[in-house]
Structure 1
Amino acid sequence: MSGAALAQEVSEDGSTLLPEIVVEGAGSGVGDDDQKSIVARGTTGGGKLATPLLDEAASVSVITAEEFRRRNVQSTEEVLQYTAGAVTDFYGSDDRFDFFKIRGFDAWVYRDGLAIGAPFGGIREEPYAFERAEVLKGANSSSFGVSDPGGSVNYVTKTPRTERFGEAYLSGGSFRRGEVGFDFGDNITSDETLSYRLTGTFRKAHAEYDFSRDDNRFIMGGLTWRPTALTNLTVVYDHLSRDGVPGSGGHPVGTDFDRSRFFGEPDYNFRGVKRDTVSVMFDHDFDNGLTFASNARYSRSNTDFGYAYISATPTDGSTIASRSFFGNESSREHFIMDGRLQYDTSWESIDSRTIVGAEYSNDRTRNDSFFGAAPGIDWTNSVYTGAPASVPLFASTNGRKSGRALFVQQEFTFSEKLIASIGLRNDWLDLSSTNNLSGVTREADVSELTKRGALTYKITDQFSVYGSYAESVAPPSIGVEPERGHQREAGIKYQPWAFPALFTAAIYDLTKTNITRTNPATNLPETIGEVRVRGIELEAKAEVLDNFNLIAAYSYMMSEIVENGTAGNIGNQLSFVPNHSFSLWADYTLRGNGVRGDMTFGVGARYTGAYFFNDANTQSTGGNVVFDASFNYQLQENTALQMNVTNIFDTKHVAYGGFGADFYNPGRSVTATLRHTW
């Protein structure tokens, strides 16, 4: 997909010349160099059509590989920490899964436009595998299918390039951390028809509490074949293996222990992940306005965990906290594939882009959960009792979800000023769940149509305003109606010519209906009501000068439970939805003088306002602010030493609680990285 960008020059008489240049898209299809800039100009995150961010009628934040590097992100949650509307770090030391919310709701994750699923309960992704993360705020099932209405995160896989390149790094730091990594590639043939890329990262480390570990092994290899200038075929294989622990077990409510204190059970504290994935990406341009593209992914995974956690803190003066054992073993086999035909044409002052496509997915899971009482622990004199002989199996299910979808998107641009777009998608789901303990199988067939409509008006080539309406539908539980969402949004964007930057502001009204909860009396899911979030988002990413970068984000959210089956929480705010959040990152490069190399100083601040732990609004945590920093020294032209510190002042607060234990936010972590590029 070719896109247009503007470059500016100053003529001898001082006037500004603005010749149009064409950039060829790769990966995300937008022509950005994610390895060298924190500012993106285009995205596919708002829909299946590659679109300049200034033209996209949605709030989309792009976190590039260069930003990954500058902030030294280690997880998906860290990727999102400086993004407007996204809130992370709810579970502190419990790092079995990624847990974040966008615009007050859970968000689904995607890879190369194909769904992975809900991050909570899934596998933590490896950020080093990706060129960028595209964060779409709000509902958009009409493009990507069933999902929650808060938004989505689309990862774009690193793929081979038509050039020789590479980097290797060695890293060490807090909690006995040692890590090595590499990312390199080249052409196999001199005519650039065949290229490869090899990426890997290997870590041996502990976490911030006693009896912990955080080992990680990731390897990814890709081949791209370009038989003609109009055809590309890429195949990528990756393997992820993790050997860690699920968490510290929490801390007794109302106490103030060091984060290193461990109240779980050392001999029953494990979290294992093994996953193999094959991705295939194909595109062909028929050279007459018509293109065809298809992505496919097959993955197979096995995961497990087991741990003891504090289930209740006594209130009678005792110092012995109750504990429970909890374990899980699961496997998943997932195949998903789409195909897209796109046709671009023009009639006088009207440009048209049309895309029609289909998607198929097949998802099979096995899930066994174990739960039982564990011996209590005296937090004034901790004595561990060892692993249990066995933990009772309380749930065992085999699940299957088969999906088919048809979608169409149409975009008209009138006189290069007004852009109108509509999208329709229908998803058909066949669901099946077998209770292996009772032998009962339940099935359901679901058909859902979702819509999206939007207008963008380009006031100038640097300013645009937009308005949109979008719908979402979440995968239903068998026996209940799907959770549905709809959103109205308006915004303004500014992308200056003078320097790489994007400034955005958005206001939205987002509603979700058919909220599903498990009825404790029947242990079956049921729909209970409607919730709403209204908010404002401001975001800026700018390379203001040749040596100064700025990332700023502010979000205001007001949530409300509009309807509820128990009627007890109507008018309350949603749990884990702060009214205010703010983040700021800035870095400045002091240029070298021949004897000394370039030095880059970075500092960041993240503020999260108070939020409730439950929908009853009886338990909460206060607002907090955390500071981060970085320093990069260019030892030689292609070699640099970088230091990153998260939570500089080791600020501690309760990030999650309300059920018998408190979980603190992540503490201070220091990392030094030696990196060589070529």
Structure 2
Amino acid sequence: MLNRRLLTCATLALATALAAPAFAADAAADANADDNTILVNGNLGDKAVSAGSKSSLPIAETPQSISVISREDIDKLGVANLNQALRYVAGVTPETRGAGAEQYDQFTLRGFSVPVYLDGLKQFSSSSGYAMPQVDMSRLESIEVVKGPASALYGQSSPGGLVAMTSKLPLDKAFYGSAAATYGTYNLYRVDTDVGGKLSDAIGVRLSGSVNGADTQQYYGSRARQVINGAVAAKIDDKTTLTVMAAYSHDPKNGNYSGQPASGTLFYNVNGKVSTRYADGEPGGFYRRDQFAATYILNHDFGAGWKFRASGRYQQVTTSLGSIYETGMQTGLTDLSQQTTSSRGSYATHETLNNWTFDNQLTGHIKTGPITHDILLGVDRQTAHSYELAAFGSANDINIFNPVYGTQPVPQSAEQIGSDFTSLISFGQTGIYGQDTISYGGLRVVLSGRQDWAASWTPGTVQKDSKFTGRAGVLYKTSFGLAPYASYSTSFEPQATVLNATTGALAKPSMGKQVEAGVKFQPNGSPILITAAWFHIEQTNLVSTNPATQISTQSGKVRSEGFEIEASAPLPGGFNLHGAYSHQRVRTVSDQDPQNVGTGLIGAGDGNLAVNLDWTAKSGPLKSLNIGAGVRHVSRTYGGLFDTTLTGNNIRQYYVPAYTVFDAMLHYDLSNLDTRMKGMTLSVNATNLFDKKYLTSCYLYPQSTGWCWYGQRRTVQGTVAWKF
């Protein structure tokens, strides 16, 4: 019966979308907002979120754990990518590939890799190669971290949750702008600009961009990027607005994506520690990426509390890569501690990823006596096509303690290596969903349901799946701001992984379910927000890939159980505190390979602790000076199974040790020195202040090989910004 009602409502929403204009935008922001009101509602602030419920339900009234990173937080921390922005979020194990993979956003949430959304639409990545998008920080207004399954609204979601980013959109101001220049360690440079204004009472525009880059921590590596983003918001009439966005990013260089051998990093080596500057490739290695995206958003107000929103995006990612990389330990090694060289191979690929995503929503309010129903009905469609031309080849060994570069040419194309192969994987998904948020006094009940039809295909093979997912949550907010809650949710995540190279058989979707219980506290009228949650997650149909043979298998069940707490509060004397703590236990409870039972998930950590305290001078000669300090502790992460004797008789579990690093920051309004510098600020950010050497993760495979990744060493950067 529920499925029939959802189908009827979704059909109505789709029919409305087809009758509407092709391009559209969000509704006008709250008339009581300040002069930074956005023409289209893209910034919901720190107290209200959109990703958790696809509405503006406040965090304190949402029966799910959610964290928000504002634009102010991004600027204050001086972060360069999503990985860095998530450092102070509970439940996140950030930067799992350390300092050698800044071109990707690789992290885990509650022990799982999770999808990333931009403006409510999924950011697709290649299912077989390296064509993965990355959004530059200059484009973003805020980041929301939704913890736990969210398939009831999004269809594709990891059991760990998802990350939802929101783009900068035009502001309701005649003219505004900002510019910032940054320089720092490893020749880091960054120039950001952001300008906009109203062309008329009905049209606003915004243009932002960035030119940035740096040398990498490893030998010879460097990265560079040029990005430009544009948005136009039009008020078509009193009830309809339109936003069209376009973004282009060119990455001519993307570091060296280099790891280090386990011997000399995680494990003892008689020759000492492998240098944090060690790179396993060659200076001629390259990874180039181009990204283009065009997005539309439509909002129409029917009146009487009913609104319609339609959005869609086309995105293309193209990459070219040529690399020499470590494939394993030196040949004939009988004692791991004696390793001095690593075997290497060569690889080249050219990839193209195209995807279309659409989401249409109808929302409204219904009152039945003292009970209010906030209704959400939607239908969405997602397609992605991934093409790869690649080849693997041989390469000479490298000395890991005294590397000599320039001895091995880097392949410029797959054809140059020979024995090249192609991979074409496509994916499509259609979903209809509905949600009822019931309010009665302080009681909030959220009921969500969704039916998905998904298909993955390669030439000659099709994998079709359908699944109903749901969420039920209840929360009660007391008169003094305390809100206990409980929820149950499920996830459904199609996987376009080839399990059999001969037949082309594809993996079945992974399934997940979660029980969460927690409490939130936000005193009325106060910016103080404290949230705590206990969760229990189970995931089935996991895919695992042997790094040596590249053969993937699917089986098993994983359980993640833990506790999280986050607090954000202003303190007396001009102090402000943000703290996050999580502890989780992630374990494989069944698997096709018996030796995996009882182990963790590679890259999944046991939790984290992050505290940031800052102080702002309110008066005197230091007025507006803001100084802060942060501490980040990441618990041990699971590295995998390994036999250090290399005999195959002593395979055991290994964990990457926990690490603790400290950060510091300083911000100052230069107009306090001279009124002619109005709008200008000076910022200094230091991460890993005491230059600690540490590993973020390792990937160990029994009787095969092991890779590890060093974390970023001390970096210091200074920024001069001007807001006008």
TM-score, normalization: structure 1? 0.90
State the shift of 1:456 in Å. 1.0
State the shift of 1:303 in Å. 1.2
User: Which among 53, 60, 63 is matched to residue 59 of structure 2?
Assistant: 53
State the shift of 1:580 in Å. 3.1
- Spell out the pairing of 1:55-74 with structure 2 (5 A cutoff): 55-74=61-80
Moved more, 361-370 or 209-218: 361-370
Q: Does 1:564 align with 2:574?
A: no
Q: Note if contact 2:396-2:408 (Cα within 8 Å) is conserved in structure 1.
A: no
Q: Which residue of 2 aligns with 1:364?
A: 385
- Spell out the pairing of 1:373-388 with structure 2 (5 A cutoff): 373-384=394-405, 385-388=407-410
Q: Which residue of 1 aligns with 2:231?
A: 222
For residues 413-454 of structure 1, what are the alpha-carbon distances to aligned partners after superposition, in whole Å with 9 as ceiling and x for unaligned? 11x2111111111111232113xxxxxx21122211111111
Summarize the Cα distance change of 1:209–1:571 in structure 2 as closer, same or farther, 3 Å threshold: closer
Counterpart secondary structure, 1:205: strand
Q: Which residue of 1 aligns with 2:669?
A: 634
State the shift of 1:47 in Å. 2.2
State the shift of 1:124 in Å. 2.3
Look up the equivalent residue of 1:646 and give its one-letter code: T
Counterpart secondary structure, 1:303: strand
State the shift of 1:50 in Å. 2.2
Look up the equivalent residue of 1:109 and give its one-letter code: V
Q: Note if contact 2:329-2:343 (Cα within 8 Å) is conserved in structure 1.
A: yes
Q: Which residue of 2 aligns with 1:113?
A: 120
Separation in 1 of the partners of 2:433 and 2:319? 33
Separation in 2 of the partners of 1:138 and 1:639? 41
Summarize the Cα distance change of 1:543–1:273 in structure 2 as closer, same or farther, 3 Å threshold: farther
State the shift of 1:372 in Å. 2.1
Q: Which residue of 1 aligns with 2:273?
A: 256
Higher relative contact order (CA 8 A, sep 6+): 2
State the shift of 1:258 in Å. 3.5
Which 5+ residue runs of structure 1 have no aligned equivalent? 6-19, 34-39, 435-440
Q: Which residue of 2 aligns with 1:471?
A: 490
- Spell out the pairing of 1:76-155 with structure 2 (5 A cutoff): 76-95=82-101, 96-117=103-124, 121=130, 122-155=132-165
% same residue? 26
Q: Which residue of 1 aligns with 2:189?
A: 178
Q: Does 1:458 align with 2:469?
A: no
State the shift of 1:572 in Å. 2.4
State the shift of 1:601 in Å. 0.6
Counterpart secondary structure, 1:43: coil
RMSD: 2.6
Separation in 1 of the partners of 2:562 and 2:404? 48
Q: Note if contact 1:209-1:248 (Cα within 8 Å) is conserved in structure 2.
A: no
User: Which among 444, 458, 480 is matched to residue 463 of structure 2?
Assistant: 444
Q: Note if contact 1:466-1:490 (Cα within 8 Å) is conserved in structure 2.
A: yes
Q: Which residue of 1 aligns with 2:423?
A: 397
Moved more, 56-65 or 478-487: 478-487
Q: Which residue of 2 aligns with 1:438?
A: none
Summarize the Cα distance change of 1:169–1:104 in structure 2 as closer, same or farther, 3 Å threshold: same
State the shift of 1:338 in Å. 1.1
**Greater fraction of residues in helix:** 2
TM-score, normalization: structure 2? 0.85
Separation in 1 of the partners of 2:64 and 2:40? 17
Separation in 2 of the partners of 1:545 and 1:615? 50
Look up the equivalent residue of 2:399 and give its one-letter code: D
Look up the equivalent residue of 1:470 and give its one-letter code: S
Counterpart secondary structure, 1:149: coil
State the shift of 1:179 in Å. 1.7
Look up the equivalent residue of 1:155 and give its one-letter code: M
Separation in 2 of the partners of 1:116 and 1:615? 32
Counterpart secondary structure, 1:333: strand
Q: Note if contact 1:109-1:119 (Cα within 8 Å) is conserved in structure 2.
A: no
Separation in 2 of the partners of 1:321 and 1:494? 53
- Spell out the pairing of 1:163-312 with structure 2 (5 A cutoff): 163=173, 164-189=175-200, 192-247=201-256, 249-252=258-261, 253-254=263-264, 255-267=272-284, 269-312=285-328
Moved more, 89-98 or 102-111: 89-98
**Pairs aligned (count):** 647
Q: Which residue of 2 aligns with 1:530?
A: 557
Separation in 2 of the partners of 1:571 and 1:433? 34
Summarize the Cα distance change of 1:520–1:660 in structure 2 as closer, same or farther, 3 Å threshold: closer
- Spell out the pairing of 1:406-425 with structure 2 (5 A cutoff): 406-414=432-440, 416-425=441-450
Separation in 2 of the partners of 1:29 and 1:304? 37
Which 5+ residue runs of structure 2 have no aligned equivalent? 1-25, 265-271, 497-504, 643-651, 672-677
Counterpart secondary structure, 1:105: coil
For residues 10-51 of structure 1, what are the alpha-carbon distances to aligned partners after superposition, in whole Å with 9 as ceiling and x for unaligned? xxxxxxxxxx98999958958745xxxxxx111012122221
State the shift of 1:118 in Å. 5.5
Separation in 1 of the partners of 2:509 and 2:279? 40
Counterpart secondary structure, 2:670: strand
**Greater fraction of residues in strand:** 1
Look up the equivalent residue of 1:265 and give its one-letter code: E
User: Which among 525, 538, 549 is matched to residue 576 of structure 2?
Assistant: 549
Separation in 2 of the partners of 1:243 and 1:520? 28
Q: Which residue of 2 aligns with 1:327?
A: 348
Q: Which residue of 2 aligns with 1:437?
A: none
For residues 558-609 of structure 1, what are the alpha-carbon distances to aligned partners after superposition, in whole Å with 9 as ceiling and x for unaligned? 122111112222222332222231001111112353x555211111111011
Look up the equivalent residue of 1:214 and give its one-letter code: R
Q: Note if contact 1:366-1:397 (Cα within 8 Å) is conserved in structure 2.
A: yes
State the shift of 1:376 in Å. 0.7
- Spell out the pairing of 1:497-516 with structure 2 (5 A cutoff): 497=524, 499-516=526-543
Q: Note if contact 1:30-1:42 (Cα within 8 Å) is conserved in structure 2.
A: no
State the shift of 1:525 in Å. 4.5
